[in-house]
């Protein structure tokens, strides 16, 4: 299956493939250390990191890892994607948002559209997500999507020389269909 890049419109957002001209918008929010606190993004975040990030997203296979820029009022304010495991029909959801928009519901709005696409268009059986267990905002996003907490992998990863726990959440297609109808 060859998936073409495409856009998704939500109530407030345009989710679209990344473009080279997104670098400045991404650099503007990603250089804030608070934005990257729970992410593996380099710190300090330099403009060259934004260039590399955008180039990686442009080259990425939409068959296995579709990823969209989150555009609000013509400006990129974050990103959302889903890494697809074709063999198991699962998708790993990922997202980030500029700090100035935290708490606005934009991540839930974007993620809901991508999860729906994954279940309806790609026939996924399950979508899951994980985050640093200390990242309460990200865990709340997963809960708002209807995901169930499946467990915590203790001391699972190293982030900036510190061992961290990762919380995993999952959502089955039949749960989504019951909830979203």
- Domains delineated in the chain: 8-180 (3.40.630.30)
pLDDT in tens, 86-140: 999 999 999 999 999 999 999 999 999 999 999 999 999 999 999 999 999 999 9
Mean pLDDT of 152-169: 94
Return left, alpha or beta for 134; rule: phi > 0 is left, psi -120 to 50 is alpha, else beta. Answer: alpha
The model carries a pTM of: 0.94
pLDDT classification of 143: cutoffs 50, 70, 90: very high
Q: Which of 2-11, 15-24, 132-141, 155-164 has the lowest mean pLDDT?
A: 2-11
Report strand pairing: 75-85 vs 162-172.
unpaired
Report strand pairing: 90-97 vs 126-132.
parallel
Instruction: Give the contacts of 18 (CB within 8 A, at least 6 positions apart).
Output: 54, 57, 58, 67, 68, 69, 76, 79
Residue 159 pLDDT > 60: yes
> Cα–Cα distance between 132 and 121 in angstroms, integer?
29
pLDDT score for 2: 60
pLDDT in tens, 38-92: 888 999 999 999 999 999 999 999 999 999 999 999 999 999 999 999 999 999 9
pLDDT score for 26: 98
Across-strand partners of 124? none
User: 80, 85, 49: which is closest to 145 by C-alpha?
Assistant: 80
pLDDT score for 181: 59
Tokens of 128: 């899951």
> Cα–Cα distance between 181 and 178 in angstroms, integer?
5
On the CB side of 119, how many CA atoms lie within 13 Å of its CA?
21
Residue 1 pLDDT > 90: no
**Sequence-ordered strand ranges (E) for the chain:** 8-9, 14-16, 67-72, 75-85, 90-97, 126-132, 148-159, 162-172
pLDDT score for 3: 65
> Cα–Cα distance between 170 and 31 in angstroms, integer?
30
């Amino acid at each position: 299956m060859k998936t073409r890049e495409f856009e998704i419109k939500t109530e407030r957002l345009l989710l679209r493939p990344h473009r080279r001209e997104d670098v400045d918008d991404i650099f503007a929010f990603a250089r804030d250390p608070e934005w990257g606190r729970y992410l593996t993004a380099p710190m300090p975040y330099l403009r060259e990191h934004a260039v590399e990030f955008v180039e990686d997203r442009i080259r990425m296979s939409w068959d296995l890892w579709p990823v969209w820029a989150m555009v609000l009022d013509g400006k990129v304010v974050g990103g959302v994607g889903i890494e697809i495991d074709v063999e198991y029909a699962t998708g790993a959801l990922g997202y980030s948002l500029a700090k100035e928009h935290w708490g606005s519901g934009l991540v839930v709005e974007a993620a809901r559209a991508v999860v729906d696409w994954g279940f309806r268009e790609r026939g996924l059986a399950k979508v899951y997500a994980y985050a640093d267990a200390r990242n309460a905002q990200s865990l709340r996003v997963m809960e708002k999507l209807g995901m169930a907490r499946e467990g915590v992998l203790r001391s699972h990863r190293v982030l900036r020389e510190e061992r961290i726990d990762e919380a995993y959440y999952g959502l089955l297609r039949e749960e989504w269909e019951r909830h979203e109808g």
